[in-house]
Amino acid sequence: MGLALALSFLLCFCLHGLSSGSPYFTSLFTLGDSYIDAGNFVIMAPPAVPVWHDRPPYGMTFFGRPTGRLSDGRVTVDFIAEQFGLPLLRASLLNRSDNVSRGINFAVGGATAIDVDFYERSKLVQFKLINNSLNVQLDWFEELRPTICNKTVGECFSKALFFVGEFGVNDYNFLWNAGKTEHEVRSYVPKVVKNIAVAVERLIKGGAVYVVVPGNPPNGCSPTMLTTRSSLNKTIMYDRIGCLSDINRVAKYHNSMLHAAIRVLRGKYSHARIIYADFYGPIITILENPSRFGVTGDDALRACCGGGGAYNWNASAVCGMPGVTACKNPSAFVNWDGIHYTEATYRFIAEGWLHGPFADPPILSALRY
């Protein structure tokens, strides 16, 4: 039994409890990185940057073709959109002349919480970054606001749901890849969290009422980091699941600081509903109990689509490259391509955000008229 089928049994009681008269959102706007990108990176990437996720087998499970999403199918915000009868969001850079009143996706793969020029000036990266940070995406939203709605601020977004993130993974990955220690990477967390909190505040001041803010996933469990970091440091420490302890400790520190920042914002803007979405817990839940979710234990930390190696990730043979194949049943895997997750995993995460227990508060319980 694959992850998707297992989850259908585990979560059916939650779905059964929904009534057709439940309150709903009328639009969905998302800012973020590659975990929810719907094609913006494909559009933004300069010719010198290789792009592979615009080719099969990406999209194989649901769409039957690549859509710019970095998965075999739908991602978290797609399931959120379906819950409220909204269309699956298109990438904001595709065609801005289209009607976007029901929502649009501003997320871009590789996006950071801190502006990209900081990493270039600090020489933390040795290449030119795409200008796709959180502030850039907020500016895109502001530019598009007259197209979205010409009513007063309060009327325009009272039934809109906003996602801010996930943000932070790329910031920390740049630091890890630059050879920074755990202590050094940890020192950047307050700046990352502050930028996210400022963005949430900026949206609320602009009329947003419902804002979902996801934390970081356990990036120390990703096949990419497990492969690259283990080859760099032979004394690296692993947890009982087999994940990288230092990376996951930073992720948990980020999440605790972000959750605290959200509580501060709730006190400041009592009319808003700011939801902390746990991106870490659902993935660890599956990894700790893989057989319960139809995942073979040996495959729990391996990518479905990859070019071989202990974790089925190889920098010279990544998913989408000629000759690189995907597993036959992605729903039996947690990870899709070494970094991102399978549709089945994203479904589980989305259900946990909608109904609980992986959100504070769950999205559906936060609704009010």
Q: Which one of the listed residues 72, 92, 222, 340 is annotated catalytic?
A: 340
Q: Is 34 a catalytic residue?
A: yes
Q: Which one of the listed residues 34, 92, 133, 222 is annotated catalytic?
A: 34
Cβ atoms of 229 and 176 closer than 8 Å: yes
Q: Which bin fits 203, alpha (ψ -120 to 50), beta or left (φ > 0)? A: alpha
The DSSP output letter for 290 is: G
Which residue blocks in the chain are alpha helix, DSSP H? 3-16, 40-44, 76-83, 116-121, 134-148, 153-157, 169-177, 182-186, 189-205, 223-232, 245-268, 280-288, 343-355, 363-366
Q: How many CA atoms lie within 13 A of 44 on its CB side?
A: 25
Alpha-carbon distance values, 151 to 61, 92, 148, 158 (Å): 40, 21, 9, 11
Q: Which one of the listed residues 72, 171, 246, 337 is annotated catalytic?
A: 337
Q: Is 22 a catalytic residue?
A: no
Q: Give the catalytic positions in this structure.
A: 34, 337, 340
